[in-house]
């Protein structure tokens, strides 16, 4: 039967909305690139920008071939753990998924590898990026996405079977699925590689290694903020869905509220970090404020659609202290993450899942997951009177993701380390990855630049005087 005119218009508007959201999420790749470039030293700027490009292009191929199928593949062999169809987009589009949905989910997948690359920046062989990026976007991340976002997943709040603890886990836009996955992978990579040369002195005290360009960090932060308005509100995927008991409200209302909670959580976290770090170190630091802002966005990503605006401020405030505390712990343990990615995405992502289990509002949960169906009832936040079901599911998601990513990515990094394919040599690290691996520096003042143009030139200039 041919679709009615109204149905065609509705589907067209929903598709346009989803595609526009996908474009916004993709802009986050530019934000990651600028943030990473500004956060490393100038001698590694070319390398970190190239890794961001590689994360996108390698992730695109692996997600097309395997990732989407593992995440959303359905059919006669469907199971709660992993998808089994739609490899290389075979039989897509179909009644459930179209090309626009694939593109939106692809933009999420390539963001995961970008998170991990920040943790192992300034000391990693380029070939290692190719390996882990392919595996992370093609297998490790999609399995987690299947658990939570596929209707077949064992953690899904929309599962056709029995829901975990009668609730399922609410991870609306991916505090766990995206950020915790990337953060845990980065944690293991940074631990196995060890700190950068000179990051800690002989007595174990931290030596500052500030990034070379604060302007790029701020630019990247605002680009990520802009992209997050596709990341969180776009996860509704359909905007023209009216709520039956309130015809003047619908997903368009939820989209607007989700954008508001996103902005409030990020702003609260940025402000709290700014003042918190002022009390701790004695000065105002723009870079700390930027990282705090991003920590708030990461935390609210799980519950952005199911909490009220005032709760988003609570989320951001606590996320800031989670980040500050984990950064202090990292220094004490001599853990070196140039972009604080493991602490920011891993720690704040885990807090975001727990926060949702505490503050999710019942009516908003029904709107987000049952399209406001009249008479529908779902478990909601513990502190809102909803019992332990949802919080239990959120905690299980944190543990399951941490366990799965550790089980898969730890061996990958360890094998690369044993094969001497993970970390660059001491000489190359001192020279910088740009000159040792990429043929020259990212910044060249003029043709008579005093820096050596190639790694071999660097080595010759540091061999010392030769005996006749």
Which pLDDT band, with edges at 50, 70 and 90, does 443 fall under? confident
Mean of the pLDDT values across residues 253-276?
97
pLDDT at residue 184 greater than cutoff 50: yes
What pLDDT is stored for residue 158 in this prediction? 86
Nearest-CA neighbor of 192 among 114, 122, 115, 120? 120
Residue 242: strand, helix, or coil: strand
> Which class for 426: exposed (0-12), middle (13-18), buried (19 or more C-beta within 10 A)?
exposed
Residue 280 tokens, joined: 């701790």
Mean of the pLDDT values across residues 293-305?
97
Residue 33: strand, helix, or coil: helix
Instruction: List the single range of 116-130, 170-184, 370-384, 419-433 with lowest mean pLDDT.
Output: 370-384
What pLDDT is stored for residue 450 in this prediction? 52
Nearest-CA neighbor of 364 among 375, 354, 385, 378? 378
What pLDDT is stored for residue 410 in this prediction? 96
Residue with tokens 């192992």: 120
Instruction: List the single range of 202-211, 292-301, 352-361 with lowest mean pLDDT.
Output: 202-211
pLDDT at residue 159 greater than cutoff 80: no
Which pLDDT band, with edges at 50, 70 and 90, does 376 fall under? confident
Region for 144 from its dihedrals, namely left if φ exceeds 0, alpha if ψ lies in -120 to 50, beta otherwise: alpha
Percent of the residues in the chain that have a pLDDT greater than 70, as a whole number: 94
Mean of the pLDDT values across residues 14-40?
96
Residue pair 149/71 in contact (Cβ under 8 Å)? The answer is: yes
What pLDDT is stored for residue 447 in this prediction? 46
pLDDT at residue 188 greater than cutoff 60: yes
- Helices 389-418 and 181-193, axial angle in degrees (round to 10): 30
What pLDDT is stored for residue 466 in this prediction? 47
Count how many residues are written for the chain.
468
Residue 247: strand, helix, or coil: strand
Residues 398-437 have pLDDT tens digits of 999 999 999 999 999 999 999 999 999 999 999 999 998 8
Residues 392-404 have pLDDT tens digits of 999 999 999 999 9
Residue with tokens 């700027």: 45
pLDDT at residue 177 greater than cutoff 90: yes
Nearest-CA neighbor of 128 among 434, 409, 439, 429? 409
Residue with tokens 């502190």: 383
Residue 139 tokens, joined: 């297998």
Which pLDDT band, with edges at 50, 70 and 90, does 442 fall under? confident
Where do the structural domains in the chain lie, given as residue ranges?
Answer: 12-207+216-236+257-429
What pLDDT is stored for residue 468 in this prediction? 43
Cβ within 8 Å of residue 167, ≥6 positions away: 157, 378, 379, 389, 390, 392, 393
Mean of the pLDDT values across residues 311-324?
98
> Which class for 158: exposed (0-12), middle (13-18), buried (19 or more C-beta within 10 A)?
middle
Q: How far is CA 66 from the centre of its chain?
A: 20
Q: What is the CATH number of domain 12-207+216-236+257-429?
A: 1.10.3430.10
Mean of all residue pLDDT scores within the chain: 91
Residue pair 113/132 in contact (Cβ under 8 Å)? The answer is: yes
pLDDT at residue 352 greater than cutoff 90: yes
What pLDDT is stored for residue 332 in this prediction? 94
Residue pair 438/46 in contact (Cβ under 8 Å)? The answer is: yes
Residue pair 327/298 in contact (Cβ under 8 Å)? The answer is: no
For every residue of 91-134, DSSP letters joined together read: T-S-SS--HHHHHHHHHHHHHHHHHHHHHTTTSB-HHHHHHHHH
What pLDDT is stored for residue 161 in this prediction? 67
- Alpha carbons 310 and 390: distance in angstroms, whole number: 20
What pLDDT is stored for residue 448 in this prediction? 43
What pLDDT is stored for residue 446 in this prediction? 44
DSSP run (H or E) holding 243: strand 242-243
For every residue of 342-401, DSSP letters joined together read: IIIIIIHHHHHHHHHHHH--HHHHHHHHHTT-TT------GGGT--SHHHHHHHHHHHHH
Of the two residues 72 and 246, the one the predictor is more confident about is: 72
What pLDDT is stored for residue 467 in this prediction? 46
Cα–Cα distance list, 189 to 99, 323, 350, 405 (Å): 33, 19, 19, 11
Mean of the pLDDT values across residues 282-302?
95
Q: What is the pTM of this model?
A: 0.93
What pLDDT is stored for residue 398 in this prediction? 98
What pLDDT is stored for residue 317 in this prediction? 98
What pLDDT is stored for residue 119 in this prediction? 94
Question: What sign does the dihedral 421-427-430-435 (CA atoms) show?
Answer: negative
């Amino acid at each position: 039967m041919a679709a009615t005119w109204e149905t065609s218009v509705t589907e067209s508007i929903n598709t346009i909305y989803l595609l526009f959201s996908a474009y916004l999420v993709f802009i986050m790749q530019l934000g990651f690139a600028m943030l990473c470039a500004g956060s490393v030293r100038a001698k590694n700027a070319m390398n970190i920008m190239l890794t961001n490009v590689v994360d996108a292009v390698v992730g695109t191929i692996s997600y097309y071939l395997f990732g989407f199928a593992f995440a959303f593949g359905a059919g006669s062999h469907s199971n709660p753990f992993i998808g089994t169809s739609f490899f290389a987009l075979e039989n897509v589009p179909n009644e459930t998924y179209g090309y626009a949905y694939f593109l939106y989910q692809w933009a999420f997948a390539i963001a995961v590898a970008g998170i991990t690359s920040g943790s192992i920046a300034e000391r990693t062989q380029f070939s290692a990026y190719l390996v882990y990026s392919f595996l992370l976007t093609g297998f490790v991340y999609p399995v987690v996405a299947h658990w939570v976002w596929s209707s077949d997943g064992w953690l899904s709040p929309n599962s056709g079977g029995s829901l975990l603890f009668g609730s399922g886990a609410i991870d609306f836009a991916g505090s766990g699925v995206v950020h915790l996955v990337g953060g845990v992978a980065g944690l293991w990579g940074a631990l196995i590689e060890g700190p950068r040369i000179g990051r800690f002195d002989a007595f174990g005290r931290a030596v500052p290694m500030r990034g070379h360009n604060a302007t790029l960090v701020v630019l990247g932060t605002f680009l990520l903020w802009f992209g997050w308005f596709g990341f969180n509100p776009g996860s509704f995927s359909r905007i023209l869905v009216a709520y039956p008991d309130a015809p003047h409200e619908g997903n368009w209302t939820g989209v607007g509220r989700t954008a508001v909670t996103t902005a409030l959580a990020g702003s609260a976290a940025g402000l709290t970090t700014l003042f918190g770090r002022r009390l701790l170190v004695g000065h105002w630091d723009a870079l700390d404020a930027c990282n705090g802002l991003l920590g708030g966005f990461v935390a609210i990503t799980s519950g952005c659609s199911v909490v009220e605006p005032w709760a988003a401020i609570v989320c951001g405030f606590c996320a800031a202290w989670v980040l500050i505390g984990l950064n202090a712990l990292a220094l004490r343990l001599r853990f070196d993450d140039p972009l604080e990615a493991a602490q920011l995405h891993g720690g704040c992502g885990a807090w975001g899942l727990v926060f949702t289990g505490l503050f999710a509002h019942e009516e908003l949960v029904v709107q987000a997951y049952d399209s406001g169906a009249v008479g529908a009832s779902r478990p909601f936040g513990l502190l809102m009177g909803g019992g332990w079901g949802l919080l239990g599911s959120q905690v299980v998601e944190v543990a399951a993701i941490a366990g799965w990513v550790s089980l898969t990515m730890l061996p990958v990094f360890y094998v690369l380390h044993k094969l001497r394919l993970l970390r660059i040599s001491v000489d190359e690290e001192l020279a910088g990855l740009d000159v040792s691996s990429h043929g020259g520096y990212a910044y060249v003042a003029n043709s008579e630049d005093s820096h050596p143009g190639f790694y071999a030139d660097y080595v010759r200039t540091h061999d010392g005087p030769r005996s006749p």
